[in-house]
Amino acid sequence: MRLLNMDELTKKAYGLRRDVVEEVYRSAAGHIGGDLSVMDILTVLYFKVMNVSPKNWDSPERDRFFLSKGHCVDALYMVLGEKGFFDKQEAINTFSAYNSRFIGHPNTEVPGIEMNSGSLGHGLALGVGTALAARMDGRNYRTYVVLGDGEMAEGSNYEAMMAAAHYKLDNLCATVDLNRLQISGTTREVMCSDDLGEKFKAFGWHVIHVEDGNDCGQLVAAYEEAAGMKERPSVLIAHTVKGKGVSFMEDNKSWHHGVMTGEQYRTAVRELREVEHE
Amino acid sequence: MNKITNRQVICDTLLEAAQRDRDLVVVCSDSRGSASLSAFAEKYPQQFVEMGIAEQNLVTVSAGLASCGKKVFAASPACFLSTRSYEQAKVDVAYSKTNVTLIGISGGVSYGALGMTHHSCQDIAAFAALPDMRVYLPSDRFQTAKLTEALLQDELPAYVRVSRSATEDVYDEKMTFSLNKANVLMEGEDILMVACGEMVPGAYRAGELLREAGYGVALLDMYCVKPLDEETLLAAAENVKLVVTVEEHSPFGGLGSIVSQVISAHCPRRVINLALPDGHMIGGTNREIFAHYGLDGPGIARTVQSAMSREG
């Protein structure tokens, strides 16, 4: 498959934002703020960086991905649907509905999802496991884990960080979607996770700061740097904006899992479409 | 008296299997010594992962390994494995149905004198309540070997609890074993005793004492606490007056609770549950603690005889 250029990636991310806004509006469920902050990261990973698709899903050589901030699965469903793992419209129509497989956290009944998850603080350790397995089996696949910054208060992350550095897992790459907000307020107010890069560095990780974590070009460059790193796991500290792309949601904690009115939905779609067609 | 521990037998069985299976992986949390797995770590360093004192990481990393086709045996003291990493067991092992066998070493009151922090008298209840998690408490070394061999053959989540000290032999090499089938150790028409793990030898001794006192006694080794072997249980319970469960566990949510559920639903009769107390426990060796709370042969026999005398 031809890889997309930066402009195309950005357009795709904005198209997927429109999809997730529709999914969340229809279901009156989901976590729209985080969906919008992480969408560029997911788009870049699935359409530029990772070697995973419906074609190689059964191959042990596929890259592994864990969305540790599993409540943003709404966004992941749109990316996986776009990637061809299933009919995206089915996810939009049935997200969180009675008896739907598209529930509010990642589960393996949905093609393209590696493990059941959703409880915070598990993804990085799962990634340590798959990265260790790659080494044992002499395989070249890489493991990518996306974490939230609020999630970094979970102690299990630090057990996984320690082990990843101990085992020099250079085939493991984490990304922190640093949008500085969580359900009760700013991370500074709730549980300060400032200097996350310093924390990872102290544990022995290679730290890459992505100044604008909603900029596809910066993300691609950072993932390239991570892929070249030897003997150390890498982490992207991606400075993002929660609610990115929808003016009234941006940097506003009430949109962690807010529900849109019809008018808000139409405004959101219009704003996203404007960027998409720039 | 047997001196070979069940944990040693698990290591021997895994060593044997690792000769043929490169996907077999053992994971420890600074517990290779106490799990008797040092020999495995030395012989198969490529199939051994040390996680340090980090039980949550132990369990989730094991699940990650299993998701890539590894057959993982993760060993850590039962007290920590069943509480500190409970959520990891629920989500990453049971919910995701990964090929991980959790080995809870030094279970129950094995670490008697170390106090309540190191006891695991809630592990049966905790793990049995997890959907898709199986719970096994093998009694002696022969059953432990057979169980480990059987678990190496399947790909489903399981929790196995073993003791720290060597358990008296109940079987020999020629024992019959079938996964999820209880072993009938005694048959009788008055009393049915159902025991698991370390309690089986004591229950056997109690059965002998009760027989000497003139009672017809049946005894089941219900090493498969979940899925419980209901068929064997109900067949054995059919004609008895009293069902007695014996377990190294809290009185709630363990073997006694599960057996009582099945008996009350299918052949209602009196069930008494012999277990450790719901509260502070004395310190001492595990055998001293068993005797103190009436969970050794004579203690079990006394309680059962007194219950039977009330049956008339």
**pLDDT tens, residue by residue, A199-256:** 999 999 999 999 999 999 999 999 999 999 999 999 999 999 999 999 999 999 899 9
Distance CA(A71)–CA(A117), nearest Å, equals: 9
- Burial class from Cβ neighbours inside 10 Å (0-12, 13-18, 19+) for residue B15 reads middle
Chain A / chain B CB contacts < 8 angstroms: 96
Q: In A, which residues are within 8 Å of B87 by CB distance? A: 119
**pLDDT tens, residue by residue, A222-231:** 999 999 999 9
Interface of B with A (CB under 8 A): 25, 46-47, 49, 51-52, 54, 56-57, 60-70, 87-88, 91-92, 95-96, 98
Tokens representing B77?
Answer: 């003291």
Please report the pLDDT score of residue B28 as a whole number: 98
- By the CB < 8 Å criterion, does A228 face chain B? no
Four-residue CA torsion sign, A63, A67, A72, A74: positive
Distance CA(A199)–CA(B125), nearest Å, equals: 38
Please report the pLDDT score of residue A6 as a whole number: 83
Task: Give the minimum alpha-carbon distance from B53 to chain A in angstroms, rounded to a whole number.
Answer: 9
Strands of the B48-50 sheet, one edge to the other: B48-50, B24-28, B71-77, B100-105, B158-161, B134-136, B224-226
Give the pLDDT band of residue A2 (cuts 50, 70, 90). Answer: low
Please report the pLDDT score of residue B310 as a whole number: 82
Cis peptide before B77 (omega within 30 of 0): no
Please report the pLDDT score of residue A42 as a whole number: 98
What is chain B's Cα-based Rg? 19
Closest chain B residue to A60, measured at CA: B68
Nearest CB among B60, B70, B87 relative to A126 is that of B60
Three-state SS for chain B is CCCCCHHHHHHHHHHHHHCCCCCEEEEECCCCCCCCCHHHHHHCHHHEEECCCCHHHHHHHHHHHHHCCCEEEEEEEHHHHCCCCHHHHHHHHHHCCCCEEEEEECCECCCHHHCHHHCECCHHHHHHCCCCCEEECCCCHHHHHHHHHHHHHCCCCEEEECCCCCCCCCCCCCCCCCCCCCEEEECCCCEEEEECCCHHHHHHHHHHHHHHCCCCEEEEECCEEECCCHHHHHHHHCCCCEEEEECCCCCCCCHHHHHHHHHHHHCCCEEEEECCCCCCCCCCCHHHHHHHCCCCHHHHHHHHHHHHHHHC
Tell me which residue of B304, B273, B287 sits closest to B125, measured CA to CA. B273
Distance CA(B101)–CA(A187), nearest Å, equals: 37
B60 and A119 within 8 Å at the Cβ level: the answer is no
How confident is the model over A29-55, as a mean pLDDT? Answer: 97
B63 and A115 within 8 Å at the Cβ level: the answer is yes
Give the pLDDT band of residue A1 (cuts 50, 70, 90). Answer: low
Task: Give the minimum alpha-carbon distance from B134 to chain A in angstroms, rounded to a whole number.
Answer: 19
How confident is the model over A158-178, as a mean pLDDT? Answer: 98
Distance CA(B104)–CA(B120), nearest Å, equals: 9
B65 and A134 within 8 Å at the Cβ level: the answer is no
Please report the pLDDT score of residue B224 as a whole number: 98
Nearest CB among B57, B67, B70 relative to A163 is that of B57
What is chain A's Cα-based Rg? 17
Q: In B, which residues are within 8 Å of A130 by CB distance? A: 64-65, 67-68
Distance CA(B25)–CA(B100), nearest Å, equals: 10
DSSP label at residue A152 = G
- By the CB < 8 Å criterion, does A137 face chain B? yes
Strands B24-28 and B71-77: parallel
Strands B183-186 and B217-221: antiparallel
Strands B224-226 and B242-246: unpaired
The single residue listed with the structure tokens 């060993």 is B75
- Quick check: A3 pLDDT over 80? no
Tell me which residue of B136, B41, B38, B120 sits closest to B85, measured CA to CA. B120
**pLDDT tens, residue by residue, A69-95:** 999 999 999 999 999 999 999 999 999
Backbone angles phi, psi at A93, to 5 degrees: -75, -30
Please report the pLDDT score of residue B64 as a whole number: 98
CA B65 to chain centre: 25
Please report the pLDDT score of residue A5 as a whole number: 86
Closest chain A residue to B98, measured at CA: A115
Task: Give the minimum alpha-carbon distance from A212 to chain B in angstroms, rounded to a whole number.
Answer: 31
Per-residue pLDDT of chain B (312 residues; tens, 9 = 90+): 899 999 999 999 999 999 999 999 999 999 999 999 999 999 999 999 999 999 999 999 999 999 999 999 999 999 999 999 999 999 999 999 999 999 999 999 999 889 999 999 999 999 999 999 999 999 999 999 999 999 999 999 999 999 999 999 999 999 999 999 999 999 999 999 999 999 999 999 999 999 999 999 999 999 999 999 999 999 999 999 999 999 999 999 999 999 999 999 999 999 999 999 999 999 999 999 999 999 999 999 999 999 999 875
CB A193 within 8 A of CB A153: yes
Please report the pLDDT score of residue B1 as a whole number: 87
Please report the pLDDT score of residue A4 as a whole number: 82
**pLDDT tens, residue by residue, A125-149:** 999 999 999 999 999 999 999 999 9
Task: Give the minimum alpha-carbon distance from B41 to chain A in angstroms, rounded to a whole number.
Answer: 15
Distance CA(B236)–CA(B238), nearest Å, equals: 6
ipTM: 0.95
B67 and A126 within 8 Å at the Cβ level: the answer is yes
**pLDDT tens, residue by residue, A7-19:** 999 999 999 999 9
Task: Give the minimum alpha-carbon distance from B96 to chain A in angstroms, rounded to a whole number.
Answer: 5
Please report the pLDDT score of residue B160 as a whole number: 98
A60 and B69 within 8 Å at the Cβ level: the answer is yes
- The contacts of residue A27 (CB under 8 Å, 6+ apart) are A95, A96, A97
The single residue listed with the structure tokens 């149905």 is B97
Q: In A, which residues are within 8 Å of B52 by CB distance? A: 162-163, 166
Three-state SS for B298-310 is HHHHHHHHHHHHH
How confident is the model over A162-168, as a mean pLDDT? Answer: 98
Beta-bridge partners for B161: B104
**pLDDT tens, residue by residue, B134-185:** 999 999 999 999 999 999 999 999 999 999 999 999 999 999 999 999 999 9
